[in-house]
Amino acid sequence: MADTLRTDLADGVFRITLCRPDAYNTITPDLREDLEHALRTADADPDARVVLLDAEGPAFCAGYGLDWATPAQSSERDGEQARVWDSVRDQRMISRFTETWALLHELPTPTIAAVQGWCIAGGTNIVFNADLIIAAEDARFGYPPSRVWGVPEAPWTWVARMGLERAKRYMLTGDEFSGAEAAAMGIVLEAVPANELASRSLELAQRVAQ
């Protein structure tokens, strides 16, 4: 397993912590593989009654790592011709990631996400699939790539979280909103001071585990 996350099981809470703070926990193929493995491991463990997904550093997840995602797609070749950007083939490539994020709501084991700092672009694709979300009041959500590449690969999670009109508003602008604003709009369960996020999310996870 790559060094993208670590796991721990205690008192029924299976904690998955993204642990590449210097890289803002950006999404890589290794992260996708490790997260899928961790989620399936948790779901198969009878002692794991709830999953708590959190992260280290100034960002929960700053989206897809453009150092690999964009070059990987643009460097594919058709015969001898380097091709231009192909959104359909890009969607096929990214679908494997979408299937992994969807495990957060598809697996029977309940999932809770604790979000601090930046949670933008692909980071929202991950956490908006969780059953419950607790955010730091100063967390920052948004999908700025919509200004360039369009809506996320799973826009339904935005609609489910905030309703059609608000989802359109943020998709059409790429604007951001805080954890406190997310709680006020009902997008997350609650927003707490940043220094209380770890204790509050663990408290909720332990309650669910009972």
| Helix/strand/coil (H/E/C) assignment for every residue in 142-167 | ECHHHHCCCCCCCCHHHHHHHCHHHH
Whole-number pLDDT of residue 51? 98
Whole-number pLDDT of residue 14? 98
Whole-number pLDDT of residue 66? 76
Whole-number pLDDT of residue 142? 96
- CA separation for the pair 74, 82 (Å, rounded): 8
Whole-number pLDDT of residue 154? 78
- Mean pLDDT of all residues in the chain? 90
Mean pLDDT of 165-176: 95
Mean pLDDT of 58-69: 84
In terms of pLDDT, which residue wins out, 76 or 157? Answer: 157
Cross-strand bridge partners of residue 17: 6, 54
Instruction: Report yes or no: 137 and 114 within 8 Å, Cβ to Cβ.
Output: no
- The pTM of the full predicted model, rounded to 2 decimals, is 0.88
Per-residue pLDDT reduced to its tens digit, 138-151: 999 999 998 887 88
Q: How far is the first Cα of the chain from the last one, in angstroms, to the nearest whole number?
A: 30
- CA separation for the pair 130, 103 (Å, rounded): 9
- CA separation for the pair 66, 79 (Å, rounded): 25
Per-residue pLDDT reduced to its tens digit, 33-51: 999 999 999 999 999 999 9
Q: Does the pLDDT of residue 77 top 70, yes or no?
A: no
Q: Dig out the tokens for 58 from the structure.
A: 């100034």
- CA separation for the pair 158, 156 (Å, rounded): 5
Per-residue pLDDT reduced to its tens digit, 93-140: 778 899 999 999 999 999 999 999 999 999 999 999 999 999 999 999
Whole-number pLDDT of residue 82? 58
Q: Does the pLDDT of residue 81 top 70, yes or no?
A: no
DSSP string, the chain: --TTEEEEEETTEEEEEE--GGGTT-B-HHHHHHHHHHHHHHHH-TT--EEEEEE-SSEEE--B-TTTHHHHHHT-EETTEEPPP-HHHHHHHHHHHHHHHHHHHHSSS-EEEEE-BEEETHHHHHHTTSSEEEEETT-EEE-GGGGTT-S-S-THHHHHHH-HHHHHHHHHH--EEEHHHHHHTTSSSEEE-GGGHHHHHHHHHHHHH-
Mean pLDDT of 3-17: 97
The sign of the CA dihedral 150, 152, 153, 158 is negative
Q: Dig out the tokens for 14 from the structure.
A: 């299976």
Side-chain-side CA neighbours of 100 within 13 Å: the count stands at 21
% of the chain surpassing 70 pLDDT: 87
